[in-house]
């Protein structure tokens, strides 16, 4: 496998031809065959498509993913059946890979094959389907996603809401009744052409004040979430923000309040970055519903978990979490890697909100 790994880094046409001869050799274990498939893909050996199609029958997810990526690179139209077969693979990683490839085609004809996978038992596949449908766009996609709003929850529901906003320019959030009513009334005449990132951000900002449970403008709909917040020394630096009302109606003041009477602008103030982070965390903790499983990780040179694992939101837990956030103070350096790895190690978490000033 070491020699194969080295071969992947060498641009020599003869390596590709040699790889073609080895492709499908039953004496070579599947994990090494995956390297050979990568060589075929990198050197674009077009004559390998039929061999690759047969090799997909080997029940090894790593090898099957390599085959799918190679067939995509080779634009092997004669292997359409292999791609459709991959959507029904017993391995979720293979299904997700196939979904990504179908999305890259941007072909409306594949929507019918992808929509059933919105009900896939694996969250990762569902999310891949939503991303693929967003790339494809069109009326059929919007209609399918509106139907899925009512049946979805958590991260999937959030992604569907975002995708519908991207495609339609409408922001009804996770409300199935509003989406259905709009589609029935205006769907026939609606332009499904997509919007720009600037338009998306503007609409999202306008609706943020009407939405509970937002973190820096992002809706928090996931029921299994971890908030990671940077408390390194650089978070003591000042930052200019709009005046912010904390839960309970109190307004936390900073220094150098930039109040321009008659300017029509919001009041501005300079506060430490850590204070902005506290405010956002306090607001989101105040807004997310009971029953949400969550945790908070503060990091600097090291990281500290508020609780050893996810805890269920309730009145007492909410108050405890808010007290914890109010006590966060800057110190140390910025250890991003270990902190993220710790959060990713929790199998129950499906959404992570990571906040850092990058310093």
* 337 in any annotated domain: yes
Q: What is the pLDDT of residue 13?
A: 61
* Chain CA centroid to CA 98, Å: 18
Q: In terms of domains, do 235 and 151 share one?
A: no
Q: In terms of domains, do 6 and 151 share one?
A: yes
* 333 in any annotated domain: yes
* The model's pTM: 0.62
Q: In terms of domains, do 142 and 9 share one?
A: yes
Q: In terms of domains, do 139 and 241 share one?
A: no
Q: In terms of domains, do 281 and 141 share one?
A: no
Sheet holding 255-258: strands in order across? 238-242, 268-272, 255-258
User: pLDDT digit of tens for each residue in the chain (359 aa)?
Assistant: 444 554 555 565 667 778 888 888 888 899 889 988 988 888 888 899 999 999 999 999 999 999 999 999 999 888 999 999 999 999 999 999 999 999 999 999 999 999 999 999 999 999 999 999 999 999 999 999 999 999 998 889 989 999 999 999 998 888 888 899 999 989 999 989 899 999 988 887 776 544 445 666 566 667 788 999 999 888 888 876 665 454 444 444 444 444 444 444 556 677 888 888 888 889 888 888 888 889 999 999 899 999 999 999 999 999 999 999 999 988 888 888 888 888 888 888 878 888 887 65
* Chain CA centroid to CA 120, Å: 17
CATH number at residue 291: 3.40.50
Q: In terms of domains, do 148 and 60 share one?
A: yes
Interacting residues of 228 by C-beta distance below 8 A, sequence separation 6+:
296, 297, 298, 299, 339, 340, 343, 352, 353, 354, 355, 356
Compute the distance between CA of residue 305 and CA of residue 309 in angstroms, rounded to an integer: 8
Q: In terms of domains, do 256 and 346 share one?
A: yes
Distance between start and end Cα atoms, the chain: 39
Taking Cα atoms as reference points, which of 129, 110, 108, 132 lies closest to residue 119? Answer: 129
**C-beta separation of 288 from 219 below 8 A:** no
Q: What is the pLDDT of residue 147?
A: 96
Q: What is the DSSP letter of 263?
A: S
Q: In terms of domains, do 144 and 257 share one?
A: no
CB atoms within 10 A of CB 183: 20
CA-CA-CA-CA torsion sign (170, 173, 176, 177): negative
* 101 in any annotated domain: yes
| Last-in-domain residue among 111, 134, 155 | 155
- The string over 330-341, giving b where at least 16 C-beta atoms fall within 10 Å of a residue's C-beta and e elsewhere, is beeebeeeebbe
Q: Which residue has the tokens 């009971």?
A: 290
Q: What is the DSSP letter of 15?
A: H
How many domains does the chain fold into?
Answer: 2
* 317 in any annotated domain: yes
Q: What is the pLDDT of residue 110?
A: 95
* 278 in any annotated domain: yes
Range of the domain at 31: 2-155
Q: Which residue has the tokens 């609409």?
A: 203
Compute the distance between CA of residue 350 and CA of residue 154 in angstroms, rounded to an integer: 9
Interacting residues of 24 by C-beta distance below 8 A, sequence separation 6+:
33, 51, 54, 55
Compute the distance between CA of residue 144 and CA of residue 161 in angstroms, rounded to an integer: 12
Compute the distance between CA of residue 16 and CA of residue 119 in angstroms, rounded to an integer: 40
3-state secondary structure of 320: helix
């Amino acid at each position: 496998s070491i020699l194969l790994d080295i071969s992947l880094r060498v641009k020599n046409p003869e390596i590709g031809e040699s790889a073609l001869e080895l492709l499908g050799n039953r004496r070579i274990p599947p994990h090494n065959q995956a390297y050979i498939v990568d060589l075929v893909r990198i050197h674009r050996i077009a004559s390998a498509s039929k061999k690759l199609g047969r090799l997909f029958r080997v029940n090894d997810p790593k090898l099957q993913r390599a085959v799918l990526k190679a067939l995509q690179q080779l634009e092997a139209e004669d292997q359409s059946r292999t791609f459709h077969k991959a959507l029904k693979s017993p391995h979720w990683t293979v299904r997700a890979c196939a979904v990504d490839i179908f999305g890259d085609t941007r072909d409306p004809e594949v929507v019918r094959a992808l929509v059933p996978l919105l009900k896939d038992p694996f969250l990762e596949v569902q999310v891949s389907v939503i991303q693929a449908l967003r790339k494809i766009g069109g009326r059929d996609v919007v209609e399918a996603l509106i139907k899925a709003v009512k049946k979805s929850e958590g991260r999937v529901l959030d992604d569907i809401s975002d995708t519908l906003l991207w495609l339609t320019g409408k922001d009804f959030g996770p409300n199935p009744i509003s989406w259905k009513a709009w589609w029935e009334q205006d769907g026939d005449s609606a332009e499904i052409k997509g919007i720009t990132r600037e338009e998306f951000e503007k609409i999202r900002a306008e609706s943020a004040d009407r939405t509970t449970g937002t973190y820096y403008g992002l809706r928090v709909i996931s029921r299994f979430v971890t908030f990671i917040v940077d408390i390194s020394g650089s978070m003591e630096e000042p930052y200019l923000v709009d005046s912010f009302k904390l839960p309970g109606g109190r307004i936390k003041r900073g220094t150098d309040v930039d109040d321009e009477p008659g300017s029509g602008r919001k009041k501005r103030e300079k506060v430490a970055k850590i204070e902005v982070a506290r405010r956002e965390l306090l607001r989101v903790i105040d807004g997310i519903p009971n029953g949400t499983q969550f945790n908070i990780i503060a990091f600097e040179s090291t990281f500290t978990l508020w609780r050893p694992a996810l805890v269920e939101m309730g009145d007492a837990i909410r108050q405890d979490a808010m007290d914890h956030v109010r006590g966060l103070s800057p110190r140390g350096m910025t250890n991003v890697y270990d902190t993220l790895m710790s959060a990713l190690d929790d199998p129950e978490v499906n959404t992570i909100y990571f906040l850092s000033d990058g310093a």
